[in-house]
Structure 1
Amino acid sequence: MDTARAERGSDFARLSRRIAQAGLLDKRPGYYAARIGLVSALFAGGWAVFAAVGDTWWQMPVAVLLAVAFAQVTLLAHDLAHGQISRSRRTSRIAGLLVGNLAVGLSYGWWMDKHTRHHANPNHEDHDPDVSPEVLIWSERQAAAARGVARIVGRWQAFLFFPLLTLEGVNLKVSSFRALRRPSLKNRRTEGLLLGAHVLAYLGAVFLVLPPGKALVFLAVHQACYGVYLGCTFAPNHKGMPVLTAEDELDFLRRQVLTSRNVRGGHLITTALGGLNYQIEHHLFPSMPTANLRRAQPIVRDYCRSIGVDYAECGLFASWGQALRHLHEAGRPLRRS
């Protein structure tokens, strides 16, 4: 068994050498300077349009525009958390706090810890927080043990998935503030101050420009669209792929590749998903700059085929379909009961 594991483990080492020799782990400062500039312009421009439009129901399209801006800023925070932008952890942490906590109200420290655990054990029932059965269930095994909200929602969760995503933006904010109570969260005071500053600035700007009724509708539209955007960005990557348990003993390469799915598409899909359409390459090399993932794909895909490892790839709508079918199948035991 030890010899077999060593042989499997060496698969990733050989692939990693090929990727490094191609220079695909090198930083891309020019790319990120341009991307940060464009996203900043979108974010600031969205708020400028909001201020210019004023007290009118035409603010609802502006809410959608700002939802896109918030999502793109969140994707930048994701890249910072993985060290894709800067080699300095201190620089990444400071930038992450400004981009995550202050700009969009997302606790950078909490999310980074959660996302790191996801990367270590993707789609693992016991270790991946992204498949924790708090509201949705991801396997028939979880369905059998489901209680409370998960047991109620799980019956028809495939039909409720997109409606539930409208609450994801609010859920991230609530989880961020709840994380401030954890002693393990580093820089709790700083995180709390920045989150508080975001809420005051965000709500203050909206209620300063709009009367209470329109302001509440604006907030609902903005947060709903923000949640759906993020959900549609992250859901295609792993949902519907194999869910692992303690019985599954896989080496690093197979654990990452077999639980991930790539999404086909051109530059528009890559821009919209922040490069996460190359999910397999991202999970194998989390610190690889987004701009290099496209070049890494043929190397990784050909290598996986050469060693007999399945490499999943499909279109965006097909990926959502697979995710929804998986959710419906996972909830079947609850519908029977």
Structure 2
Amino acid sequence: MSRGSHDASCRPSKEPAVQSPESKLTPSSYGAVRRTTKGEKTPRITQSYGAVSKAIRGEGLLDRTLGFYGALAAGLLVALAAAITGFILLGDSWFQLLIAAALGVIFTQFAFLAHEASHRQVLTSGRANDRLGRFLAAGIVGMSYSWWMTKHTRHHANPNKKGKDPDIDFDTISFTEESASEQRGLLALITRKQGYLFFPLLTFEGYNLHFRSIKSLFAREKITGRWVELTMIAVRFAIYLGAIFWMLPLGLAVAFVAVQMAVFGVYMGASFAPNHKGMPLIPADVKLDFFSRQVLTSRNVRGGWWASALMGGLNYQIEHHLFPSMPRPHLARAREIVRAYCEEQDVPYAETSLLESYRIVVEYLNRVGLHARDPFDCPVAGDFRRR
């Protein structure tokens, strides 16, 4: 990364331009976090993190902001109603693709709100948050809330940790060199250029998210709210697809769905990718304290209120991981407290612009992709050369 890609006020803020998946958090690379003075074996950072939590609570930054989320929900419902009205009034017109794109954005914003409900950021009661999140995810977006909860909880517990974080598991894209080296044929060809293909591939991510989440509801293990979610998803798609294919000619209807899903996939992927991709990976056998684990593997995106609105608060990824239940409006103030603490403790605090974060992600994925086997290379000849 370029020198100016982090905020200069946090001293050790040099993040690698491209973080290789083999760049591990060894004792030498995070020694500043584990020891504050030479020879001191008790990590002061773990003890003093309690002071940060106390400051956060003291300023009321974990208190609910019902007014904000009420206004946000009302705004999204108005936007959805406007899109539906526009859809009805336009009729058989290729301008409907603008409505499709708008729906892709609106559904993504509802997904952000469902994500916040899953973290107990919205309402005071855990059950109320779950009911809201399930309705938003399954009833409006068309995805399984229980699948998201399971996957995302595992991610928050061990971000960027090999074998623990599902977000770095292979899924068309390889996030580790080991995964890239295992790809063959067409997948190997894609993997070798996966950085450049990342955003084009995201146009299909909407289908992938819907398919994987709905598939999870048919698993044999016990799933909370299985039939409620299946019912809501079925009703949602029946109304959504029924209206589109009834109101529009077949070709236009197919294009409408394709545009909506493409915008949804790109928007979702482009909002979540800057958070951890290209940051250090934690080997399975390395243990870090909670604070170090969350800060060293997360990246913030500069931009203030507009970035927060655009990304659903995900631009404050470090603070979100440290205080997952913190409402979105309080994350900006929490950033000031956490940054000051990082500066005091010499803890790297990664923060960059949105465009720079995309550059990092693309270069990182391309570097990982170089470890994919050349699909046109002969395995036997390769083995002979390695000897």
**CA deviation vs aligned residue, 1:169-200 (integer Å, no higher than 9, x gap):** 11111012101112232111111111111110
Q: 2:145 aligns with which of 102, 105, 108?
A: 108
Q: What letter is aligned with 1:154?
A: T
Alignment partner of 1:220 is 2:258: yes
User: How far apart are 1:23 and its partner, in Å?
Assistant: 1.1
Larger Rg: 2
CA distance in structure 2 between the partners assigned to 1:181 and 1:11 by the alignment: 46
Question: Taking CA–CA contacts closer than 8 Å with sequence separation of 6 or more, which of the two structures ends up with the larger relative contact order?
Answer: 2
CA contact (8 A) 1:101 1:108 kept: yes
Q: Distance in 2 between matches of 1:252 and 1:150?
A: 36
**Post-superposition shift, 1:318?**
0.1
**Amino acid of the structure 1 residue aligned with 2:315:** N
Aligned to 1:82: 119
Q: Determine if contact 1:134/1:150 at 8 Å carries over to the other structure.
A: no
Q: CA deviation at 1:261?
A: 0.5
Question: Are 1:93 and 2:135 an aligned pair?
Answer: no
| CA–CA separation in structure 2 for the residues paired with 1:5 and 1:227 | 45
Are the counterparts in 2 of residues 281 and 297 from structure 1 also a CA contact under 8 Å?
yes
**5 Å matches for 1:137-286?**
137-146=174-183, 150-182=187-219, 183-286=221-324
SS in 1 for 2:150: helix
Residue equivalent to 1:300 = 338
Q: Distance in 1 between matches of 2:44 and 2:184?
A: 42
Amino-acid identity (%): 43
CA contact (8 A) 2:188 2:373 kept: no
TM-superposed deviation, 1:145: 3.7
Under a length normalisation based on structure 1, what TM-score does the superposition of the two structures give? Answer: 0.95
Local SS of the residue matching 1:102? helix
Partner Cα separation in structure 2 for residue 108 and residue 218 of structure 1: 25
Q: CA deviation digits over 1:284-306, x for unaligned, max 9?
A: 00000000001111100110111
Give 3-state SS (helix, strand or coil) of 1:215's partner.
helix
Q: Structure 1: give runs of 5+ residues left out of the alignment.
A: none
Distance in 1 (alpha carbons) for counterparts of 2:286 and 2:186: 28
With normalisation by structure 2, the TM-score equals 0.83
User: Alignment RMSD, CA only?
Assistant: 1.7
Cα deviation digits, residues 227-263 of structure 1 (max 9, x gap): 0011111011111111111133211111111111000
The 1:274–1:263 alpha-carbon spacing in structure 2 relative to 1, beyond 3 Å, is same
Kept in 2, the 8 Å contact 1:11–1:253? The answer is no
Deviates more, 1:280-289 or 1:134-143: 134-143
- Judge conservation of contact 1:167–1:227 (CA < 8 Å) in 2: yes
* Greater helix content: 1
For residues 200 and 123 of structure 1, the distance between their equivalents in structure 2, rounded to whole angstroms, comes to: 37
Worse-superposed segment, 135-144 or 261-270? 135-144
Contact between 2:294 and 2:321, CA under 8 Å: does it hold in 1? yes
